[in-house]
Amino acid sequence: MAVAVLAPTCFAGWLGWHAVAGGGGTGGRTAAASTPAASTPAASAVPPPPATSEPPSASPSPSPSESKGQGQGQGAAPAGRPLAGRTVVLDPGHNPGNGAHPAEINRRVDIGSARKECDTTGTETDDGYPEASFTLDVVRRVRTILEAEGARVVLTQDGDRAWGPCIDERAAAGNRVHADAAVSVHGDGAPASAHGFHVILPARVVSGAADTTPITGPSRTLGLRLRDSFAAATGEPFSTYLGHDGIDVRDDLGGLNLSKVPKVFIECGNMRNSADARRMKDPEWRKRAAQGIADGLTAFLTGPGR
């Protein structure tokens, strides 16, 4: 996900930017505030963690829907459904309000191996469709599918926060509920000539608060299941600009570095590429994208050894 207003001027320059970025999504952004996503009924979101000597974020007080994030008011998953008893955390990348809160999202937080910006604004299509609106729409669709299969689904935010959450909060969301799997959904902002999707796996990072050693193996399995199901559901080709065969491995993303549960990112397409952007703006394509993500999670959670 690249700068929403100032697109990279050349691919080489973008690659250099991408290598050093890595906030809440896969790169740093500075842009004007995005338009809010369409409203849907509120659902589970994770409340901010307890204060520490350095709070993970200076976030607003939790909304009523956030306060129910630990499953209060939710019945047990119906037995007999394929995901009964499973907990999934879905992380819609960025927030439409981030651009109006530069001081908050630019504050650096600890990701173990480095300090990164709390969050970023995300990218957008050339005609102004924001990544943050795309990700929230897709995640809500995934939630509906997974809940029908019996899963408990927790969102890191559900359009009920003015900005954020910070990247360390996003990782903490899965850790706090002991999620069986977590997926962060994004759209990228690469040069316009680049297209396709890729899944980002956590590299082995052991530094400070970060230790991904226990999750690199299961996260890879999750990532491969997600890659295959997303390609089958959407017909989107593998990325032409990053990774290999639709898979990339990174050590600079706080959402992965701080996770204690199997977790991956998916860049559903390049919002700066005209063909990818056209698909990502299409509600029917987003429906297929959500199905692909849900299918990948289901395959991982019901597969051998799960």
Catalytic residues: 267
Cα separation, 286 vs 300, in Å, equals: 21
Sign of CA dihedral 119, 125, 130, 135: negative
Report how far apart, in Å, the C-alpha atoms of 243 and of each of 177, 205, 209 are. Answer: 31, 19, 26
Sign of CA dihedral 233, 126, 22, 109: negative
Query: Which H/E stretch holds residue 93?
Result: none
Task: Look up tokens 């559900």; give the residue.
Answer: 158
Structure tokens at 172: 């903490």
Query: Which of 223, 70, 226, 93 has its CA nearest to residue 154?
Result: 70
Report how far apart, in Å, the C-alpha atoms of 196 and of each of 34, 91, 272, 288 are. Answer: 23, 21, 11, 15
Cα separation, 131 vs 195, in Å, equals: 15
DSSP, res 151: -
Contact at 8 Å (CB) between 293 and 140?
no
